[in-house]
């Protein structure tokens, strides 16, 4: 028998052994002995007992899989999360399998991507009735190894809490709290009702130390105990222990000698409490103890003034008061008598002058008033109110009457009410002449709104009215909004200009406008442009000039003096949109701040100017007027043709008092008044024009 036949017989014999043991023939591949019997199957294909195939010789020793070193296998029996098995020093592509003790149920399996260690999270929880699993490994091109046992520990039970380190606070008017001391990191504490089932609260401590848990359910006042437990990481919950707590205590009664209630007129009654503790809550009730007249909280220890939401009953002249201290129940209600308000000294008639004007509102001038004095003008019947105003500071006050004076009468009645005092007695004052000139005509129109209703609607808007305070814009208070909202506070030579009609009127000349544009930067000499803009878009040129002064810093801002552009954003107002290059660098102008968003006014104001084609100051003056006209002054929906209407949207809120959004030009509560001040200096230089004013009237 020749050598070639002997090799073939050996190969066939090894091949047969592989078939009988159900071993893939690839496991025996040897690269140095190959005999081609057929090419019907690819190398490494398991061989059938019939047919022809490629035959290779094999190294039988390569099929034996080395078993795992169990000292390098660690089983973690976790609590509340998947159990994990850690294998160390695996070869790349090793497949490890974790079995239950039956050797069949697979608990988990993983493949080592690289040589080294591997963590396998088990798909099934470990059996708490035993402490062992079986593990195996299968390396690349080898069979699975023998399954070996690996021990693990049963899930532990957390040591019970030290009850002395759990304190329960039975609070009043806020969530009850339990404080736990000396916890370990990741400890979970649970508070139960005495039934041991109802969970009152639960918390997890991030770091070792103390933890405060606010209860989601109030403590039971019929008992003084709760149950508490702790669960440490990788352990079961501890035994539940009882912890005692105190019932809610009652606040000490007020000392009524330290409580004063003032019965004010024309404003809220006030209760003064002295010697309170920080966070004391005081309540004022009607004499029957049922109706709450007012309530307040002391921010710090000391005195507190509470304005009553409801007027005191004048026929009773007493109320009940109580206090509720922190973490205590309300005290008993005690009776306190009112302090009746004093009457303001009556006016000196020589300090009151009444002007009976022609073609405009009659005016009453009051001299030597104190700050916050409110003056009222009555007809001679003592009932009909002709006008009312409040002095914002000590000095003189001009009040425009909302009703014309009786031509047959030579007198009116006037009174004054100082802050915190009652209205004075009325005194007579004589009627005189006209102080405001003949080029002003004032018309009062009915809003069909109550002032308080309109004020409440303004306060309800989603976009809040704001004031400038210490370098920041902050939300205005109701009192601040009320002051700027009330037309009666501005019927004088400055504030009245916020009621000037902003529609175009004849009589203004380019020469008049140029006289006020002297020294106003790029706006100087542009009177004709403002006049043309006013005629074209039916806007009062005086307003256009005033608006440009305010927006450009008197013609000196970057937008007014020109900004050069060589690119613009594809989507206006979107800083993240694509930037598009222009064919050439251009200079643009914007004198009304149109499109100048607060986020980057120069960028967006210049890009808006480019889009509108404002390449000269004149184009900016005329073009910008179009948007002021269509958006506000001549808008058919809103008809906001005065500064007051632009700032305070009467149209929207008269139709829907609870609307969240209104069509208002600015959020600054003083915007209209500031513009009014600028316009005053312009108006006095207009020689021939008649100025028309529209002042809103609210239902008393």
Q: What is the 3-state secondary structure (H, E, C) of 615-629?
A: CCHHHHHHHHHHHHH
Cβ pair 589, 620 in contact under 8 A:
yes
Rounded Cα gap, residues 248 and 92, in angstroms = 67
Nearest to 533 by CA among 600, 587, 591: 591
**CA–CA dist 95, 137 (Å, integer):** 6
3-state percent breakdown (helix, strand, coil) of the chain, nearest 5: 20, 30, 45
* Tens-place pLDDT, residues 621-632: 999 999 999 999
Q: How confident is the model at residue 12 (pLDDT cuts 50, 70, 90)?
A: low
Cα(419)–Cα(218) distance, rounded to whole angstroms? 46
359-412 pLDDT, tens digit each? 678 889 899 999 999 999 999 899 999 999 999 999 999 999 988 777 566 688
DSSP code per residue over 227-277: EEEEE-TTEE----EEEE-PPPEEPPPP-GGGEEEEE-SSS--EEEEEEEP
* Residue-level pLDDT at 353: 81
The tokens of 259 are what? 């409580």
Q: 27: which 2 tokens?
A: 């496991």
3-state secondary structure (DSSP) of residue 7: helix
- Of residues 502 and 156, the one with the higher pLDDT is 502
Q: Residues 450, 373: contact at Cβ < 8 Å?
A: no
Residues 437-485 pLDDT 10s? 446 778 889 999 999 999 999 999 999 999 999 889 999 999 999 999 9
3-state secondary structure of 309: coil
pLDDT at 19: 46
**Would the pLDDT of 584 be above 90?**
yes
Per-residue exposure over 170-182, b if at least 16 CB sit within 10 Å of its own CB, e if not? bbbeeebbbebee
Write down the pLDDT at residue 31. 39
Would you give the distance in Å from CA 332 to the centre of its chain? 39
C-alpha to C-alpha distance for 163 and 462, rounded to whole angstroms: 50
pTM, entire model: 0.42
Strand, coil or helix: 33: coil
Please give the average per-residue pLDDT across 522-527, as a whole number.
Answer: 97
CA 505 – CA 508 distance, rounded (Å): 7
Structural tokens at position 626: 């179009």
Give the pLDDT score at 221: 78
Mean pLDDT, the chain, as a whole number?
Answer: 86
Whether 590 contacts 614, CB under 8 Å? yes
Residue ranges of domains in the chain, CATH in brackets: 3-63 (no CATH), 70-154 (2.60.40.10), 157-247 (2.60.40.10), 250-340 (2.60.40.10), 349-437 (2.60.40.10), 439-501+642-700 (no CATH), 509-636 (no CATH)
Pull the structure tokens for residue 694: 């529209």
Flag whether pLDDT at 687 surpasses 60: yes
C-alpha 313/C-alpha 286 separation (Å) is 8
| Predicted pLDDT at 554 | 95
Instruction: Please tell me the total number of residues recorded for the chain in this structure.
Output: 700
Backbone angles phi, psi at 384, to 5 degrees: -75, 120
Encode pLDDT of 232-259 as tens digits: 988 888 999 999 988 777 889 999 999 9
pLDDT at residue 407 in the model: 57
| In the predicted structure, residue 433 carries a pLDDT above the cut 60 | no
Identify which has the larger pLDDT, 39 or 286: 286
> What is the spatial distance between Cα 650 and Cα 338, in angstroms, rounded to a whole number?
40
pLDDT, residue 576, reads 95
* Beta-carbon-side half-sphere exposure of residue 368 (alpha carbons within 13 Å): 8
């Amino acid at each position: 028998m020749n050598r070639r036949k002997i090799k073939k017989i050996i190969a066939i014999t090894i091949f047969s052994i592989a078939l009988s043991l159900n071993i893939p023939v690839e496991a025996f591949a040897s690269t140095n002995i190959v005999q081609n019997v057929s090419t019907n199957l690819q190398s490494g294909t398991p061989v059938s007992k019939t047919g022809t195939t490629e035959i290779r010789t094999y190294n039988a020793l390569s099929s034996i899989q080395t078993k795992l070193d169990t000292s390098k296998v660690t089983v973690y029996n976790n609590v509340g999360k998947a159990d994990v098995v850690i294998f160390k020093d695996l070869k790349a592509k090793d497949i490890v399998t974790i079995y239950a003790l039956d050797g069949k149920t697979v608990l988990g399996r993983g493949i080592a991507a690289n040589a080294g260690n591997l963590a396998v999270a088990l798909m099934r929880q470990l059996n708490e009735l035993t402490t062992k699993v079986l593990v195996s490994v299968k390396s690349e091109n080898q069979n699975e190894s023998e399954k070996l046992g690996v021990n693990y520990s049963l899930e532990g039970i957390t040591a019970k809490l030290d009850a002395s380190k759990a304190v329960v606070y039975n609070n009043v008017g806020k969530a009850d709290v339990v404080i736990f001391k000396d916890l370990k990191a990741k400890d979970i504490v649970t508070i139960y009702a005495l039934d041991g089932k109802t969970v009152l609260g639960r918390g997890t401590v991030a770091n070792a130390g103390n933890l405060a848990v606010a209860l989601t359910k109030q403590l039971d006042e019929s008992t003084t105990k709760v149950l508490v437990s702790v669960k440490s990481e990788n352990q079961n919950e501890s035994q539940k222990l009882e912890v005692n707590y105190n019932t809610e205590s009652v606040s000490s009664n007020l000392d009524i000698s330290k409580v004063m209630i003032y019965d004010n007129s024309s404003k809220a009654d006030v209760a003064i409490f002295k010697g309170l503790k920080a966070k004391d809550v005081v309540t004022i009730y009607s004499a029957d103890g049922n109706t709450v007249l007012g309530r307040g909280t002391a921010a710090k220890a000391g005195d507190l003034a509470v304005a009553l939401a409801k007027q005191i009953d004048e026929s009773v002249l007493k109320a009940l008061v109580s206090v509720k201290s922190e973490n205590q129940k309300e005290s008993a209600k005690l009776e306190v008598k009112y302090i009746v308000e004093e009457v303001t000294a009556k006016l000196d008639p020589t300090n009151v002058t009444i002007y009976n004007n022609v073609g405009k509102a009659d005016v009453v001038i009051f001299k030597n008033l104190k700050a916050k004095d409110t003056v009222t003008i009555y007809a001679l019947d003592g009932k009909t109110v002709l006008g009312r105003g409040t002095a914002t500071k000590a000095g003189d006050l001009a009040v425009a009457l909302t009703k014309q004076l009786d031509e047959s009468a030579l007198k009116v009645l006037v009174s004054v009410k100082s802050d915190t005092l009652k209205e004075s007695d009325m005194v007579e004052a004589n009627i005189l002449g006209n102080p405001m000139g003949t080029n002003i005509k004032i018309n009062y129109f009915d809003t069909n709104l109550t002032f308080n209703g309109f004020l409440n609607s303004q306060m309800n808007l989603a976009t809040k009215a704001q004031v400038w305070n210490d370098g920041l814009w902050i939300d205005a208070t109701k009192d601040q909004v009320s002051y700027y909202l009330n037309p009666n506070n501005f019927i004088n030579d400055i504030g009245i200009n916020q009621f000037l009609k902003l529609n175009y009127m004849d009589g203004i000349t380019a020469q008049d406008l140029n006289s006020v544009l002297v020294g106003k930067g790029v706006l100087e000499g542009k009177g004709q442009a403002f006049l043309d803009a006013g005629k074209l878009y039916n806007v009062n040129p005086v307003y256009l000039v005033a608006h440009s002064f305010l927006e450009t810093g008197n013609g000196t801002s970057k937008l007014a003096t020109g900004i050069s552009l060589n690119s613009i954003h594809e989507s206006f107002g979107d800083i993240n949109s694509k930037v598009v290059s222009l064919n050439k660098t251009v200079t643009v102008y914007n004198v009304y701040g149109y499109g100048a968003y607060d986020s980057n006014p120069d960028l967006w104001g210049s890009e808006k100017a480019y889009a509108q084609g404002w390449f000269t100051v004149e184009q900016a003056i005329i073009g910008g007027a179009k948007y002021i006209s269509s958006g506000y002054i001549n808008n058919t929906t809103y008809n906001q043709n005065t500064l007051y209407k632009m700032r305070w949207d009467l149209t929207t809120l008269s139709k829907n008092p609870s609307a969240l959004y209104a069509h208002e030009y600015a959020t600054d509560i003083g915007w209209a008044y500031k513009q009014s001040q600028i316009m005053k200096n312009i108006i006095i230089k207009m020689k021939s024009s008649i100025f028309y004013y529209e002042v809103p009237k609210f239902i008393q």
